[in-house]
Structure 1
Amino acid sequence: MSQSTTLPPHRTAGAPPAVREPAHVPVADVMRAGIVEGVHHGSVVVLAADGSVAFQAGDIEAAFYPRSALKPVQAVGLLRAGLPPLDDPSLALVAASHSGEEQHLATARGILAAGDLTEDELRNVPDLPYDPAVRDEWIRRGLGPTRLAQNCSGKHAAMLLTCRTRGWDLDSYLDPGHPLQRELAAAVEDLTGQGIARVTVDGCGAPLFSVSLHGLTRAAARLATAAPGTKEGRVAHAMRTHPEMVSGSRRDVARLVRAVPGLLAKDGFEGVQIAALPDGRAVGVKIADGGDRARMPVTAAVLARCGVDPDVLAPFATTPVIGGGTPVGALRATKTLAP
């Protein structure tokens, strides 16, 4: 697979976003004893229920890589491409960056078994479980990296099952020219409403499609507002009802979904987060330096702009700054993001 390629735009999609250096702005301050010790830059967008941009900061139209925040859109694409019916926990895992807990591994095995497939047919990179506690226990047991433990194995298992169902080649399912990947690219362009600017390789080895933060957030809103019987609605329902399958039992995204009724949320590496409410209000966050610590405080700040109760968001709004083993400050969103 080439490192960077382009695709012709899907016939229903708009123009691809511009490939340029994003004009990010300060979005989070690291405060230690009342002094700004560090600043995280990034971009954010808030969509109103009618789809219009209610607030933006930074560069929401530049091409960027959504990383795993794009998985819910790809899950819809898999259903459109012929993924057989799955129960809700399994469909949630298809959209997941899971923690490698036993519930995740067992569910991924079940997806493979539905197509008489095995872990050996997965083409994602082997890795240790993502959750630190699970990873430590894994190592204590003398276990090494596996494809099943890698956090994208649910998506890859579903890709293989779809290929088995459609009679497509299994060995080349990660090639951007494979029929499966062309179907997924079409779903990305349809749901984001824009062409794909670049195609490269994600950390797991799968094709990674570049869109804009605005386009990604628009896609999240489309899933969140979809009717229950639609493919978009099925993915949204599975993610809302099984947030522990989308991430993990100890992950902040799962806690946020449990705290905010009806919320659809997905994180991605390099500081990406989307979250959308059932009425279409939605937020997209990209932290420029890729650091994870600013992702959730910034997300909480812009969710407050959507009308989410600040008291509900309070546990997510700051990250402690530690000195001598005790909190001496906090990382929080800049005042410019406050409602």
Structure 2
Amino acid sequence: MLTSPLADAPAIREPRHAPVAHVTRGGVVESTHYGSLVVLDGDGTLRFHLGDPHAACYPRSALKPVQAVAMVRAGLPLDGELLALATGSHSGEERHLAATRRILALADLTEDDLRNVPDLPYDPAVRDTWIRQDRQPSKLAQNCSGKHAAMLTLCKLNGWPLHDYDAPQHPLQQVIAQTVEDLTGQRIAHVTVDGCGTPLFAVSLHGLARAAARIATGAPGTPEHRVADALRSHPEMASGTGRDVARLMRAVPGLLAKDGFEGVQTAALPDGRALALKIADGNDRARGPVTAAALALAGVDPQLLTGLTGEPAYGGGRPVGALRPAAALNPPAPPTHP
């Protein structure tokens, strides 16, 4: 389903990151987060970039919407909250576990068939409850179980082997790799193993933003539109109660957003404006404020982003500083769009 010639794979190098956020205390910069980001206009042209968005990087779970598009293209019969779960990184709430079981039941499969690693729930409060109840790590509770359940279900429906669905040479993973290249518009630079055990494909932030835009602008009836509609309609199923990525999608009409471990974030609007970013040190505290600043650069009304721009730094129980985007992310604001 390739729509145009692919660009060469991005270069594998030490990224030339730039400062993207500072933590100030008493008017002095105490800490600096480096990173890279890219913002695209609706026609795909480069609107803003900082750092090194053309170097190869690992998208981690920010790639899950692309993986979901690949599975829908190959016949995955999910929609709504179940497709959102397959596209997301859930918090391990009981509704997430129950929905994962529902996906598995479609193909007469169980938790034992999953090949993701057992874990405690991702959400701290949910995890603490599990520990108090002496519940053990499980494959269902691990944040990628919805994706793995969808992969298994698709393999069962297509007659593909189940025991090695996470192997790079498996037909499922080959379909996903082709879709990654199609939606990013570039060849994959490298393949390794993600934390949950499935193949992880290195692409550039620029390519990742293009993929997010392709999904966000998918025409009705296409796999891209089905995935985007599921995420927009059920952001908490793709993440969890109180998660910042769900609040972001609720705050900005039509926004499609997905986070990933090690400080990765994508976001795209229905008109094709899109962004992708990576916090160099992998620290998650800078991801939200930098995402909000990048969305403002894309033309999103900053008033919609209130509450997503960073937490204060405290001293003696009172605010004495803050985490704020670097000055390079605060040029004169572009015209806002609805």
Q: In which range does the TM-score fall when normalised by the shorter chain?
A: over 0.9
Q: 1:220 aligns with which of 212, 218, 223?
A: 212
2:269 maps to amino acid: L
Match of 1:283, SS state, is strand
Structure 1, gaps ≥5 residues long = 1-8
Q: Within the alignment, does 1:189 sit opposite 2:181 as a pair?
A: yes
- Aligned position for 2:88: 96
Question: Is contact 1:125–1:150 with CA below 8 Å preserved after alignment?
Answer: yes
TM-score, normalized by length of structure 1? 0.95
CA distance in 1, matches of 2:314, 2:100: 38
- Aligned position for 1:275: 267
Structure 2, gaps ≥5 residues long = 334-338
Q: 1:255 aligns with which of 247, 257, 265?
A: 247
Higher deviation after alignment, 318-327 or 206-215: 318-327
CA distance in 2, matches of 1:13, 1:155: 27
CA distance change for structure 1 residues 89 and 115 in 2, over 3 Å: closer, same or farther? same
Q: Within the alignment, does 1:145 sit opposite 2:145 as a pair?
A: no
CA distance in 1, matches of 2:79, 2:214: 22
Q: Within the alignment, does 1:304 sit opposite 2:296 as a pair?
A: yes
Higher deviation after alignment, 191-200 or 327-336: 327-336
How far does the alpha carbon of each residue in 1:245-274 deviate from its partner, in whole angstroms, 9 at most, with x for none?
111011001001000000000000000000
2:309 maps to amino acid: A
Question: Is contact 1:10–1:195 with CA below 8 Å preserved after alignment?
Answer: no
How far does the alpha carbon of each residue in 1:6-25 deviate from its partner, in whole angstroms, 9 at most, with x for none?
xxx99953211111110000
CA distance change for structure 1 residues 137 and 148 in 2, over 3 Å: closer, same or farther? same
Q: 2:21 aligns with which of 5, 9, 28?
A: 28
Q: By how many angstroms is 1:293 displaced?
A: 0.2
CA distance in 2, matches of 1:244, 1:282: 21
Match of 2:307, SS state, is helix
- Aligned position for 2:101: 109
CA distance in 1, matches of 2:319, 2:195: 34
Q: Within the alignment, does 1:241 sit opposite 2:233 as a pair?
A: yes
Q: By how many angstroms is 1:76 displaced?
A: 0.2
- Aligned position for 1:38: 31
CA distance in 2, matches of 1:59, 1:11: 24
CA distance in 2, matches of 1:36, 1:128: 36
1:42-121 matches, within 5 Å, as 42-83=35-76, 85-121=77-113
- Aligned position for 2:321: 329
Q: By how many angstroms is 1:120 displaced?
A: 0.2
How far does the alpha carbon of each residue in 1:35-82 deviate from its partner, in whole angstroms, 9 at most, with x for none?
100100000101001000000000011000000000000000111122
How far does the alpha carbon of each residue in 1:101-123 deviate from its partner, in whole angstroms, 9 at most, with x for none?
11111111000000000000000
Question: Is contact 2:79–2:226 with CA below 8 Å preserved after alignment?
Answer: no
CA distance in 2, matches of 1:208, 1:324: 44
CA distance in 2, matches of 1:28, 1:263: 23
Match of 1:316, SS state, is coil
Match of 1:92, SS state, is helix
Q: 2:196 aligns with which of 198, 204, 207?
A: 204
1:332 maps to amino acid: R
CA distance in 1, matches of 2:294, 2:137: 37
- Aligned position for 2:121: 129
Higher deviation after alignment, 13-22 or 272-281: 13-22
Q: By how many angstroms is 1:324 displaced?
A: 2.4
How far does the alpha carbon of each residue in 1:130-152 deviate from its partner, in whole angstroms, 9 at most, with x for none?
00111111111110100000000
- Aligned position for 1:163: 155
CA distance in 2, matches of 1:318, 1:290: 16
CA distance in 2, matches of 1:188, 1:333: 30
- Aligned position for 2:336: none
TM-score, normalized by length of structure 2? 0.96
Q: 1:175 aligns with which of 143, 167, 170?
A: 167
Match of 2:103, SS state, is helix
Question: Is contact 1:10–1:189 with CA below 8 Å preserved after alignment?
Answer: no
CA distance in 2, matches of 1:80, 1:250: 31
CA distance in 1, matches of 2:5, 2:167: 23
CA distance in 1, matches of 2:135, 2:320: 39
Question: Is contact 1:228–1:237 with CA below 8 Å preserved after alignment?
Answer: no
